[in-house]
Structure 1
Amino acid sequence: MGKIVKYFAFISGGLALVLVAAILIVPSLVDVQKYKPVIEEKLADATGRKVSLGGDIKLSLFPWVGVSLADFQIANPEGFAEATFLQVNAFQAHVKVMPLLSREIYVDKIVLDGPQVYLEKRKDGKVNWQGFGSPETAASKPSAAVKDPKESPAEESSGFAVKSIEVGEFALKDGKIVYADAQQGTSTTVSDISLLLKDVSLTRPLGVDFSATFEGKPIGLQGQIGPLASAGGAVGKGIIPVDLSVNIADQLQATLIGQLEDVVGDMRYSFGLNTESFSLRDLAKALGVENFPVQTTDPKVLNTLELALKATGTASSAAIQGGSFTLDDSKLTFEANVASFSPLNLSASAALDTIDLDRYLPPPAETETASANGGGSAAPATAQKKTDYSGLRAITLDTKFSAGTVKIKGGTVENVVVQLKGKRGVFTVEPMSVDLYNGALSGSTEVDVRKDAPLTKVAVNTTGVQVGPLLHDFAGKDVLEGALASQLTLSFRGDTPEAIKKSLDGKGLLTFTDGAIVGVDLAGMVRNVQASFGLAEKPTEKPKTDFAELQAPFTITDGLVDTPGTTLTSPLIRVAAAGSAHLVSEKLNMKVHPKFVASLKGQGDTSERSGVMVPILIGGTFNQPTFAPDLAGLLQGGLPDVNALQEALQQELKPKKENSGEETDAIEQGIKNLIPQFKF
């Protein structure tokens, strides 16, 4: 018996010695490098991409199974700008041998040094991160069969089932991700990526320490994820809690709290995101930005920002509820639902309480100021890049925006409601409504981008809008007063000012009531030729033409605006105008026909004036209009005879005297003020 034990011990010791010798000696005897072509071929078959191992492969077997390699690359498919999809400068991993027999993995360390990923989207929409895997393998893979409910769990699972994983250290160093979008012509880089995980376990929360540089700006992330699996459960199949915080330069603090579910299957997520109030200007200073990139008229804005939202979704969809964004004195609440990302199918709504956009607009540039003052010469026109609308033809939109009060360009609008919908390249804005200057504007817009040049149709109606303060606030002009009611329908093709002017078609009617044309005294022009047309001393007060009603119907054909019957109703005077204005050449060609009447309907003008009534020609351009008496028309029609005109007016006033003496007295007095020679 003793001899048997001795023999058994001798044999066991010999086998152990041989095994140890093999583990120590084999790695130095086996030439791993000659297997590189085989490894590259197998990896290429698995990924469907060309794989190369440029550096040496090093192998160890005991007490840790260790492997290290250098210059590992996975190529991009043909047709992409970058040749490489993934490149790793160096990789090493050490796994303990003995626990593997119990299906337990103990990893000393995993180090990934210098990984670089190049993500690319071509102009045709194809991306380089899709299409992994061998086509033959995918074709031969059987379709998923319906599982037999009686099938045992042991029959469902196969292979090496892992009981536990322990990792002493996982380190990713000096990583880089580049995303190039050829459709948008943009490129984004995240560099200096560093990720350190220590004491990793599937059944304990995982501490995360991450840092990177995004477009030259440092970012950091700390917190906990997991456990990645419950005791005895599969990795990534259950709910994984997430509690992370972001700290950027001690200026921006944000928290992300929620959970991931079934990350290895049909992934779902639910998160709450909150930021503490922060200053964008202080954040820029902390990041070393010497010149703040956003120039605003008010230097005090962008000092109070805060964001809060809840998000749920899957890999292909997302939803945002309870969104809230604070920007200085303004607050925006919003919700959104993305039914799919590719192609985009988005529905969203947002409501803004109040905002003064003038505070956020850039201050007037010196060149603009000089140009406005007439200094300098205009820069030569450059060819505008043609816009590609192909990306818009696939998206679906259903969005709504509302705002209480918005100030822009000196003007103020209230109760803004805009609903934008889009599908298959046709986008509509309807309803579109806003209250402004004691009145209201409503309308609709349709933009069709199914062809290279977009086709736009606009319909606008206004009621009761006070145009005087509106033009003063928005344009800094005092040219017209009164309440505006309008109906406009316009259409044009193109997206440049030149194309829009050339293709503009439509019609409309503008009606102004109880107003005035500021800067032009039509009554003076038709009554006093010398004073009105520069032949006498000009009055010191700014001239204006008061009216009870001004109607301007018009049609537009290929940028040519034609108004066949513009009429102005003013006290004792009626004016009819006809002519055209060309939007491309900006030339005016109009003729004004005045008529003296015995009526006080309209706004009165009691200042002393004298003279004769003369037709007026309006020419020149939009920037430099000219006004001149129509002497040819005056001579053709003959000078008015005072006695004949007096007799005609007396005949017109005769029936009115019988009904209302006060009205006719006022009319007579108005006529005498205009033409003192008249006697009644």
Structure 2
Amino acid sequence: MRWIIRSIVGVMILALVGVSTLFVVPTERIATLATDRIAEATGREVVVTGDVRPTLWPHLGIRAEGLRVGNPDWVEAGPLIAAERLDVGVNWSALFSGQIQLERAELIGPEIVLQRGADGRVSWDFSAGEIADAAEAQVAADEAAGEGGLPAIGFERAVISDGRLRWIDEGAGQDITIAGLDAELSVPGGEARATLSGSANVNGADLAIEAAVDGLAGLIAGEVRGAVLALDWDGGEAGFDGRVSTAPALAGDVTLDARELGPILALAGTAAPDLPQGLGRDRIRATGRVTLTNEGTAHLRSGQITLDDNTLYAELDITQGADRPMVRGAISGGRLSLPGMGGADAAGGGGGDTAAGWPTDRIDVSGLFATDAELSLALGALDLGGAVLEPVESNITLTRGRLVFDIARIGSYGGRLAGQFVVNGRGGLSVGGDLLLADVQLNPLLTDFADWDRLEGSGSASLEFLGVGNDLATIMDGLEGRGDLAFGAGAIRGFDLAGMVRNLDTSYQGEGQRTVYDRVTAEFTIADGILENEDLFLDAPWGEVRGAGSVDLGAQTLDYRVIPGVMRDAEGVAGVQVPVLISGPWSSPRIRPDLEYLAQQELEEQRERLEAEARARLEEEADRLEEEARTRANEALGLDIQDGDGREEIEAQVQERVNEEIENQLLRIFGGSPDEEQAEEVVE
């Protein structure tokens, strides 16, 4: 029983001591000291708008209702800090000895506003505070700062509980609010390391931060200081280890490992993009040395970026242009795998398709205006989900929304691809190119890109094209261009064209089910989405094939006639020719003998034959009449006009005969007489 009484008495004594302590706590002096310290640290007006009461638990000190720390006059969004209350803790032993030593300050429910102006001013620049006179400001700062140049706040720990932070960047057009902010800041004096730990909620995602600076006083004074930073969120982590200044400028090693970028991008006021597989859809990891200068330029060296299972290496420089940033540098890598971005499935897939093919979804090219760029790209291989290009060397230029790929060399199916491809977002979307495909293997190429595996051999082609429209269907419907193709020896698998012609049966397959050829050539033009060709020529040991017709690229239909010719004669001319009409959708075309064309050709041949016979009869009649006229002239005039004599020769004979007659008549008039033979000839 005795120990129970002693315990009760002890508790009562402690309670009396605690209660008596409340009466000796100098609340006004502590409040004034705390607000003065904050004012000295920030150079801003600090006021307490509510009651000030002493506290015993959890810390001996005071509780001040309503704290307000001002922002510069040019900030209109509100004060720097507007807190529900400020709790200040003091040292027990120092208090009983008559001294006030501040140990802890906690802001409850603060609203914090940080703002960067369009002219580059920042609201957290505490270098001169609100003092107008520069000399007076310097003296005040030196007296408050000590060696480090930072006014000594005097708290071993500063705590924020359940705060809200609003970040406004007028230059970037950003206005971001962070809720649920809990943080603890330790700011020892001098060169000692200041630390910060905290957590917050950004757009529904929780973030945690750990940071440290070697001498916060020097950092705020404009010096360069060592710093480390670690960010953690549900879906990733990021870190920095290097040197920073408030210019702003920094240089150090950066790491990133993210499965979800949304929370971090939300801090920059940007939504997370819908990245494709192979470009960071599932995971992004990055390391490198980053430098940010006070001129606003950024530089990446020894950058290694892993996007899903792809690894790229980058050396990049970002400078500020008049309208947008400029990115220059080089990107390289081994094999870049982008499944689903190439091949036949990618060409015709996607929502919003028309009944027969091309997607009608609007293509968003607004991202082309985010930056300008001059980049070189070198890859060991580019895998587009079945279509493999290796190696890849290209220069990429992006200027005011116009993206140009200058293809120096792309290895493609045993051959190469070169030329230029352009995507222009100015005034709407347009695409164009001037491409050359040389000596490629046709079977794997057409299998990957058109899902058609019947053509064997190698070939080359060239293409110039231009398409305008905000969706793929519109672009294909109005495509303009021209090109040509030339295939070497090969074969068409699946049918025997020569056998079809010989047997007059389009269902004929043949034993080998192959149509062998020596070469194929053609030229074509494209206008309003219609490809026209008039000179397809396939040369083969068994004969030849000539073709002409059109392909509607927008509607994905074709109307084409091929005329196979087989059974060459001694002079190499194909004897049996049966035209075949290919029409309908190119996914399932209809192939049939062109009987109408055959009838037209027969009528044409008959017309030409009749015209030839008529011409022959006319020529024969003309020859007869000419011979009759010639005979009569010879008999009447005593001439000797022969078949084949020209006009000059006939005129010469007539002139000679006239001269003789004139001479005979003159002799007769002047008394002379020709000999008897001449007279007889004249009489006759």
Per the normalisation by structure 1, the TM-score is 0.62
- 594, 605, 616: which one pairs with 1:630? 594
Given the alignment of the two structures, is residue 311 of structure 1 paired with residue 311 of structure 2, yes or no?
no
User: CA separation in 1, counterparts of 2:534 and 2:561?
Assistant: 10
- Which piece of structure 1 moves more, 170-179 or 314-323? 170-179
Once the 2 structures are TM-superposed, how far is the Cα of residue 402 of structure 1 from its aligned partner?
1.8
Superposed CA offset, 1:85-118 (max 9, x none): 988552537699x9xxxxx996741525253669
> Which of 85, 105, 110 is the aligned partner of 1:109?
105
Structure 1 residue 415 corresponds to structure 2 residue 391: yes
Deviations 1:520-546 (A, max 9, x none): 5432332222x31x4xxx548684322
Residues 66-85 of structure 1 mapped to structure 2, 5 A cutoff? 68-69=65-66
Equivalent residue, structure 1, for 2:478: 503
Q: 1:568 to 1:191 in 2, by over 3 A?
A: farther
The one of 314, 321, 327 aligned to 1:334: 314
Q: Aligned equivalents of 1:26 and 1:242: distance in 2?
A: 33
Matched, 1:226 2:214: yes
The question of whether the paired residues in 2 share the 8 Å contact of 1:525 and 1:614 is answered with: no
Tell me if the contact between 2:352 and 2:360 (Cα under 8 Å) persists in the aligned partners. no
Residue 516 of structure 1, CA deviation: 2.3
**Residue 399 (structure 1) aligned with residue 369 (structure 2):** no
How far apart are the structure 2 equivalents of 1:512 and 1:421?
Answer: 33
1:168 aligns with 2:156: yes
Q: Superposition pairs for residues 518-667 of structure 1, below 5 Å?
A: 518-529=493-504, 531-532=505-506, 534=507, 538-539=508-509, 543-596=513-566, 598=568, 612-638=576-602
Distance across 1 between alignment mates of 2:409 and 2:420: 9
The Cα of 1:327 is off from its aligned counterpart by 5.4
- Which of 307, 313, 333 matches 1:352? 333
Q: Deviations over 1:328-376 (max 9, x none)?
A: 7643211211112862111132111124433999xx99xx89999xxxx
User: Which residue is equivalent to 1:33?
Assistant: none
- Distance change (3 Å), C-alpha of 1:381 and 1:185: farther
Deviates more, 1:164-173 or 1:568-577: 164-173
Tell me how far 1:496 sits from its aligned partner. 0.5
Q: 1:212 to 1:236 in 2, by over 3 A?
A: same
- Per-residue deviation, 1:309: 0.4
Q: For 1:270-309, what aligned pairs fall within 5 Å after superposition?
A: 270-274=251-255, 280=259, 306-309=285-288
Q: Deviations over 1:630-668 (max 9, x none)?
A: 2233344459x9xxxxxxxxxxxxxxxxxxxxxxxxxxx
Which residue in the other structure is 1:478 paired with? Answer: 453
* Paired residues of 1:559 and 1:582 also in contact (CA < 8 A): yes
User: For 1:558-606, what per-residue CA distance to the aligned partner results, in whole angstroms no more than 9, with x for missing partners?
Assistant: 111111211111113111111111122333222212333648999xxxx
Query: Aligned to 2:474, what secondary structure does the other structure show?
Result: helix
Matched-pair contact (CA < 8 Å) for 1:409–1:474? no
Counterparts of 1:449 and 1:369, CA distance in 2:
21
Conserved? CA contact 1:229–1:240, under 8 Å: no
Look up the equivalent residue of 2:329 and give its one-letter code: A
Q: Separation in 1 of the partners of 2:559 and 2:356?
A: 29
Matched to 1:111, the amino acid is L
Give the deviation of 1:477 after TM superposition. 2.5
Distance 2:64 2:389 in 1: 68
Per the TM alignment, residue 480 of structure 1 is displaced from its structure 2 partner at its CA by 2.2
Residue 210, structure 1, aligned to residue 207, structure 2? no
Q: Deviations over 1:605-627 (max 9, x none)?
A: xxxxxx95311112112222111
Is the CA contact (8 Å cut-off) linking 1:179 and 1:189 kept in structure 2? Answer: yes
**Structure 1, 582-591 or 472-481: larger mean CA deviation:** 472-481
Question: What is the total number of aligned residue pairs between the two structures?
Answer: 520
**Would the alpha carbon gap of residues 279 and 196 (structure 1) be closer, same or farther in structure 2, given more than 3 Å must change?**
closer
* In structure 2, C-alpha distance between the alignment counterparts of 1:589 and 1:294, rounded to whole Å: 40
The alignment status of 1:92 with 2:96, answered yes or no, reads no
* Conserved? CA contact 2:458–2:488, under 8 Å: yes
Quickly say closer, same or farther: Cα 1:27–1:273, change in 2 above 3 A.
Answer: closer
Aligned residue for 2:498, secondary structure, equals: helix
Q: 1:296 to 1:200 in 2, by over 3 A?
A: same
Residue 244 of structure 2: aligned partner: 260
Q: Against the structure 1 CA distance between its residues 569 and 254, is the aligned structure 2 distance closer, same or farther, given a 3 Å change threshold? A: same
Q: Distance in 1 between matches of 2:138 and 2:31?
A: 34
Read off the aligned partner of 1:421 and give its amino acid letter: T
Percent identity over the alignment is: 22
- Distance change in 2, residues 1:352/1:73 (3 Å): same
Contact residue 213 and residue 226 of structure 2 kept, 8 A = yes
* C-alpha distance in structure 1 between counterparts of 2:70 and 2:145, whole Å: 32
- Whether the 8 Å contact between 1:66 and 1:95 is mirrored in structure 2 is no
In structure 1, distance between residues paired with 2:351 and 2:555? 25
What TM-score, normalized by structure 2, do the two folds share? 0.62
> How far 1:413 moved relative to its partner?
1.7
Alpha-carbon separation, structure 2, partners of 1:308 and 1:27 = 47
| Matching residue's letter, 1:90 | E
Q: CA deviation at 1:317?
A: 1.8
Q: Tell me the alpha carbon deviations over residues 154-195 of structure 1, each in whole angstroms, 9 at most, x when there is no partner.
A: 7993544322413222222334568899xx999987543322
Conserved in 2, the CA contact under 8 Å of 1:336 and 1:347?
yes
Secondary structure at 2:339's aligned position in 1? helix
User: How far did 1:484 drift?
Assistant: 2.0
Question: SS of 1:201's equivalent?
Answer: coil
More deviation in 153-162 or 436-445?
Answer: 153-162
Q: In structure 2, what is the equivalent of residue 437 of structure 1?
A: 413
- Is 1:192 the counterpart of 2:188? The answer is no
What letter is aligned with 2:373? L
Residue aligned with 2:426, SS? coil
Q: 1:479 to 1:503 in 2, by over 3 A?
A: same
Match of residue 138 from structure 1: none
CA gap of 1:132–1:428, structure 2 versus 1, over 3 A, is closer
Q: Given the superposition, is the C-alpha separation of residues 484 and 420 from structure 1 closer, same or farther in structure 2, using an over 3 Å criterion?
A: same
Q: CA deviation at 1:548?
A: 1.4
Closer/same/farther in 2, CA of residues 409 and 160 from structure 1, 3 Å limit: closer
The amino acid across from 2:565 in the alignment is K
Match of 2:301 among 305, 309, 321: 321
Find the residue that maps to 2:445 and give its secondary structure: helix
Distance in 1 (alpha carbons) for counterparts of 2:446 and 2:175: 42
Q: Secondary structure at the match of 1:468?
A: helix
CA drift at 1:439: 0.7
Alpha-carbon distance in 1 for matches of 2:516, 2:106? 86
- Tell me the residue number matched to 1:606: none
Against the structure 1 CA distance between its residues 204 and 267, is the aligned structure 2 distance closer, same or farther, given a 3 Å change threshold?
A: same
CA gap of 1:420–1:599, structure 2 versus 1, over 3 A, is: farther
In the alignment, is the contact (CA less than 8 A) between 1:94 and 1:110 conserved in 2?
A: yes
Report the Cα distance in structure 2 between the residues aligned to 1:528 and 1:588, rounded to whole angstroms. 26
Q: How does 1:13-92 map to 2 (within 5 A)?
A: 56-58=49-51, 68-69=65-66, 88=82, 90=84, 92=86
Q: Deviations over 1:393-442 (max 9, x none)?
A: 57321122221123222232211123211223333211353112111111
Q: What residue is the counterpart of 2:644 in the other structure?
A: none
